[in-house]
Amino acid sequence: MSVHPATVTVELPNRSYNIEIAHHCLKDLGSKLVETGLGKKSNKVLVVSNPVIYKYYGETVNASLSDAGFSSTSLILPAGERFKTANSLQKIYDAALNHRLERSSLIVALGGGVIGDMSGYAAATWLRGIDLIQVPTTLLAMVDSAIGGKTGINHPHGKNLIGAFHQPRLVWVDPEVLKTLPAREFRSAMAEVIKYGVIWDRDLFELLANCDRLDQLRYVKPDLLQSILYRCAKAKAEIVSKDEKEGNLRAILNYGHTVGHAIESVTNYRLYNHGEAVGLGMVIAGAIAVDLGLWTQQDQDQQMLLITKARLPQTLPSGIDLDAIAASLSTDKKVEAGKVRFILPTAIGSAELSDRVTTELVKQNLRKIVT
Ligand code: NAD
Ligand code: GLY
């Protein structure tokens, strides 16, 4: 089945850019850069990736860049969140120095959120900022991390504590690369997809509700996948265009993340991966919103249905330390003036920032999902 390519523009003063979504477009990256004049002046490109992704897609990207006349070099960093560090960043700077990147050169991030965030931060800071091209290879990166300009690395004492806003010049999405993505990565990113349906896009929510299963690529038809990528990109683009630096509105993208981060941290990042924890956070945030009379039990049930279709966890193991989760909420990066900034759904397709959520209310609802 052929699926039409789609373009979404992130509208920003003087820095608008496109997210292009097209099957088999990876091989056309170089010609697209030439067409848009990106990197033309210095002709130098640094591709940053990891060994798994590079094995699958490195050759296609490099051939595309050299066929288009670019001098490209690649840096392969070890895979995984634990390598999202100052040490890896230093390696990107070293590669930039060795390849003599100039102000008009490009960094291409070929990977998921880890590679995208690190390469983005390197691009934000090398020579006080050079152009970044995001080529996301995970579902999470396609719908979220490659869009919107948040870049950074982890500090040994906290995730994403070091970073900068640095918008890419282009986000180049080839959905074909999802065919090699491990099933758990696909499934957990579905939590973020459902998130957009709940907080912003009711039509997306309904599209998802009409699908039997959302947990594996093979159950999601190409045209539905294209709609998911398009609608999520559009949702994120609209939110970022209205509030680039997270003054207020952009915080709704953290729906499910407050409790999710706390669960991830209390279970030492071993039991659940990020999307799974966000899914659990959405279960709790929805239940709290029902308790506060902000949204209906019926809407909560519909959200639960999507979480079930994505085969995301909905319960916590007995013995989990709920006090530790509650305590961890107050150390979350989203704390402002001592209050946890909680995102609560108000209807399918809308959410708001609330300071009415007490740790006791969170604990009450956590208790309900302990098995
Ligand atoms: P990831 O980058 O670690 O990738 C997940 C795994 O999938 C890795 O092992 C990777 O090697 C593998 N992989 C990637 N693409 C593949 C492919 N096409 N085929 C086979 N294997 C592939 O994880 P992620 O979920 O993409 O990103 C998580 C990171 O994103 C976190 O560090 C998080 O903080 C960050 N993030 C950033 C933002 C933002 O706005 N900047 C938003 C959300 C998350
Ligand atoms: N992923 C949250 C944001 O981009 O703001």
Amino acid occupying residue 20: E
Q: How far, in Å, CA of 117 to CA of 17, rounded?
A: 18
Q: Are strands 342-347 and 350-354 parallel, antiparallel or unpaired?
A: antiparallel
- Going by the DSSP 8-state scheme, the letter that residue 18 receives in this structure is E
Q: How far, in Å, CA of 216 to CA of 180, rounded?
A: 12
**Total residues found in the chain within this entry:** 371
* Ordered per-residue pLDDT tens for the chain, 371 residues: 568 999 999 999 999 999 999 999 999 999 999 999 998 889 999 999 999 999 999 999 999 999 999 999 999 999 999 999 999 999 999 999 999 999 999 999 999 999 999 999 999 999 999 999 999 999 999 999 999 999 999 998 888 999 999 999 999 999 999 999 999 999 999 999 999 999 999 999 999 999 999 999 999 999 999 999 999 999 999 999 999 999 999 999 999 999 999 999 899 888 999 999 999 999 999 999 999 999 999 999 999 999 999 999 999 999 999 999 998 887 655 556 556 779 999 999 999 999 999 889 999 999 999 99
Question: In this structure, what are the phi and psi dihedrals at residue 76, rounded to the nearest 5 degrees?
Answer: -110, 115
The alpha-carbon radius of gyration of the chain (Å, integer) is 20
Is 163 exposed, middle or buried (CB count within 10 Å of its CB: 0-12, 13-18, 19+)? middle
Of all protein residues, the one whose alpha carbon is nearest to atom 35 of ligand 1 is 113
* Domains along the chain with CATH numbers: 6-180 (3.40.50.1970), 183-368 (1.20.1090.10)
Atom from ligand 2 closest to the CA of residue 250: 5
**DSSP SS3 for 170:** strand
Please report the DSSP string for 90-146 in residue order: HHHHHHHHHTT--TT-EEEEEESHHHHHHHHHHHHHGGG--EEEEEE-SHHIIIIIT
**DSSP SS3 for 55:** helix
Per-residue burial over 331-364, b = 16 or more CB atoms within 10 Å of its CB, e = otherwise: ebebeeeeebbbbbbbebbebebbeebeeebbee
Q: How far is the CA of 168 from the centre of ligand 1 (A)?
A: 17
Nearest to 285 by CA among 362, 339, 360, 209: 362
Atom from ligand 1 closest to the CA of residue 178: 18
Judge whether 257 and 271 are in contact, CB under 8 Å: no
Q: Evaluate the CA torsion angle 318, 323, 325, 326 in order and state its sign.
A: positive
Of all protein residues, the one whose alpha carbon is nearest to atom 26 of ligand 1 is 112
Question: Which residue among 114, 181, 334 has the greatest number of ligand 1 atoms within 8 angstroms of its CB, and so is best to mutate?
Answer: 114
Judge whether 147 and 190 are in contact, CB under 8 Å: no
Please report the DSSP string for 148-162 in residue order: S-EEEEEETTEEEEE
- Going by the DSSP 8-state scheme, the letter that residue 331 receives in this structure is T
Question: In this structure, what are the phi and psi dihedrals at residue 51, rounded to the nearest 5 degrees?
Answer: -60, -35
Q: How far, in Å, CA of 19 to CA of 237, rounded?
A: 9
Of all protein residues, the one whose alpha carbon is nearest to atom 3 of ligand 2 is 253
Closest ligand to the CA of 196: 2
Question: Which residue among 10, 50, 52, 192 has the greatest number of ligand 1 atoms within 8 angstroms of its CB, and so is best to mutate?
Answer: 52
Question: In this structure, what are the phi and psi dihedrals at residue 75, rounded to the nearest 5 degrees?
Answer: -120, 125
